[in-house]
Amino acid sequence: MTPAPNLEIYESRAHDALRLSLAGELDIASTPLLKDRLGALRASKLPVRLNLSNLSFIDCTGLHLLVRTVGDARIKHWHLWIEPDLGPQVVRLFKLVHLEGFLTGGEPRSLEAPCAPTGRGRPAPPLSREAARDLSPAYDAGIK
């Protein structure tokens, strides 16, 4: 039996995109909720900003979803940003797997450390299909 998801997705309009603010845990139980919502937004080509600052936990399933979604967005020229202000657990995981720059388009900032204000985020340049495949070993195995 799968545990109930412990994730809340709050939607708000940003000046240039729909902002999805995630709170709780992005794990095997909750990843399908985010995957379905992002799939619908990708199909409508609506620009999206992901706010992960209130995530308290992320597992490999959640990380895999983010890697695949960011890579797919770059290949298909869909505007998707992960905001650089992240919770300490998320920053630690991104740095552990050396994906902090890839996922956030720059250096993520932990909310525990003081940070200077920044300007508007910009999407990273498109990623080639080959580079996206290299970033996700599950791609070659056919796991989605």
3-state secondary structure of 127: coil
Nearest to 26 by CA among 70, 72, 60: 60
Please compute the mean of the pLDDT values over residues 124-136 and round it to a whole number.
50
- The model's pTM is 0.70
pLDDT of residue 108: 55
Cα angle: 84, vertex 124, 23; to 5 degrees: 35
Q: Could you read off the pLDDT of 89-103 as tens digits, one per residue?
A: 888 888 898 887 777
Report the helix count and the strand count for the chain, using DSSP H and E.
Answer: 6, 6
- Torsion 96-115-62-64 (CA) sign: negative
pLDDT above 50 (res 118): no
Let me know: does 110 contact 83? Beta carbons within 8 Å.
no
Tens digit of each residue's pLDDT (9 = 90 or more) over 19-47: 999 999 999 999 999 999 999 999 999 99
Domains of the chain, CATH where assigned: 7-141 (3.30.750.24)
Q: What value does the mean pLDDT of the chain take? A: 78
Token pair belonging to 16: 């240039």
d(CA 23, CA 8): 5
Sheet holding 18-26, edge to edge: 7-13, 18-26, 48-58, 80-82
